[in-house]
């Protein structure tokens, strides 16, 4: 059976009084040091003694002498109060954003720009730690269900969960091809011009694939899928190797672009989508998380949007 002593020992204030009595060597001096009355100190010591069922001290020749049991309680009181002192310092540090951890879970494609969002924030608050989990959409949805991270980044947030969401940057999906591809030489294309080309598609569970499939369904067309690949980088290199064309987020090109690729001037593209920060309503937001969200809304999203606009105005991928 587990001990329930902690339920009877008393309040932190009683432990503080105990240490004062031990350090001052008398009830009277402890009362003066704590600005309490002598009867109050005596009463609290009596309650502690009754709680452990043993005397805390004896009076010998008008001297207060702690028993072995009383000394053991003094030792524990020091440890407990030291722990709360460390907790207080830690919380103060967190309130001042000198320490603590920001936890993010993001879908694969967002890994290209999230570091550029985190960089200035970490420079401003160098004492904080970042934990970043990267996965496809389905994996990130599962992490949202677990509720460990502070924020989650999706291009298509789940609709069947109790969450809060903010849109923070555009996520246009563009068609890409090798620089010397026949389609790259044309100034105007339609989506139907892509249908006979071998197409490289992201895997099931990917937000990019979800957006492409919805787009094709609306336009009542079907792509000639040659390969399914679970990595944006692998898709870009496969396009460069002339294995096919693809549609990817412009962010994969803005921050991880490769020479040898071009955006195709397709009339119906880009596919219009957005990036969202998502968090569970039930999760209490930390001071760090609140500060980061304010940073994203007030500064971060404008920086990312400006970088994206510069890239979209360039024909090179």
Give residue-wise pLDDT tens across range 250-296: 888 776 556 688 899 999 999 988 889 899 888 778 888 888 988 88
Domain tally for the chain? 3
301 shares a domain with 228: no
First to last CA, the chain: 68
Decide if 269 is inside a domain. Answer: no
DSSP 3-state assignment of 62? coil
- Residue where a domain terminates, one of 63, 95, 127: 95
**Residue 317 covered by a domain:** no
| pTM over 0.75, yes/no | no
Boundary of a domain, candidates 95, 126, 147? 95
pLDDT, tens digit (0-9, with 9 covering 90-100), for 198-219: 999 998 878 889 889 999 999 9
Whether residue 299 sits in one domain with residue 259: no
pLDDT band for 300, please (50, 70, 90 cuts).
confident
Residues 230 and 246 in one domain: yes
Please check whether residue 284 lies inside any domain of the structure. yes
Q: Could you give the CA distance from residue 256 to residue 239 in angstroms, rounded to a whole number?
A: 14
Separation between Cα atoms, residue 235 and residue 246, nearest integer Å = 8
For residue 240, the domain's CATH number is 3.40.190.10
Final residue belonging to a domain, choices 71, 95, 119: 95
CATH classification at residue 53: 1.10.10.10
Q: Which residues contact 147 (CB under 8 A, 6 or more apart)?
A: 280, 282, 283
Confidence of residue 2 (pLDDT cuts 50, 70, 90): very low
In a domain, 125, yes or no: yes
Assess whether 82 and 109 both reside in one domain: no
Q: Quick check: is 268 in a domain?
A: no
In sequence order, the 6+-apart residues with CB closer than 8 A to the CB of 180 are none
3-class secondary structure per residue, 131-156 = EEEEECHHHHHHHHHHCCCCEEEECC
Domain containing residue 136? 101-170+274-312
Q: Are residue 158 and residue 177 in the same domain, yes or no?
A: no
Does residue 14 form part of some domain? yes
Co-location of 81 and 150 in the same domain: no
Say yes or no: 60 and 185 in one domain.
no
Q: Tokens 């336009």, residue?
A: 219
């Amino acid at each position: 059976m587990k001990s329930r002593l902690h339920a009877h020992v008393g309040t932190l204030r009683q432990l503080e009084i105990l240490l004062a009595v031990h350090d001052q060597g008398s009830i009277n001096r402890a009362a003066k040091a704590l600005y309490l009355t002598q009867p109050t100190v005596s009463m609290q010591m009596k309650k502690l003694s009754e709680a452990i069922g043993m005397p805390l001290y004896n009076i010998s020749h008008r001297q207060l002498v702690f028993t072995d049991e009383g000394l053991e309680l003094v030792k524990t009181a020091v440890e407990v109060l030291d722990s709360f002192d460390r907790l207080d310092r830690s919380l103060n540090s967190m309130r001042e954003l000198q320490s603590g951890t920001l936890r993010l879970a993001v879908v694969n494609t967002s890994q290209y720009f999230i570091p550029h969002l985190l960089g200035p924030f970490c420079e401003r608050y160098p004492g904080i730690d970042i934990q970043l989990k990267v996965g496809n959409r389905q994996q990130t949805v599962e992490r949202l269900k677990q509720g460990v991270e502070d924020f989650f980044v999706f291009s298509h947030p789940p609709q069947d969960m109790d969450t809060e969401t903010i849109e923070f940057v555009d996520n246009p999906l563009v068609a890409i091809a090798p620089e010397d591809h026949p389609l790259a030489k044309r100034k105007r294309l339609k989506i139907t011009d892509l249908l006979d080309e071998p197409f490289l598609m992201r895997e099931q569970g990917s937000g990019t694939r979800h957006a492409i499939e919805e787009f094709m369904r609306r336009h009542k067309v079907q792509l000639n899928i040659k390969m399914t690949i679970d990595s944006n980088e692998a898709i870009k290199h496969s396009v460069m190797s002339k294995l096919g064309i693809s549609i990817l987020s412009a962010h994969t090109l803005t921050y991880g672009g490769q020479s040898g690729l071009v955006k195709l001037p397709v009339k119906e593209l880009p596919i219009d989508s957005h990036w969202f920060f998502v968090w569970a309503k039930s999760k209490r937001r930390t001071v760090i998380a609140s500060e980061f969200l304010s940073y994203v809304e007030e500064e971060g999203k404008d920086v990312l949007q400006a970088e994206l606009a510069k890239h979209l105005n360039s024909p090179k991928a």
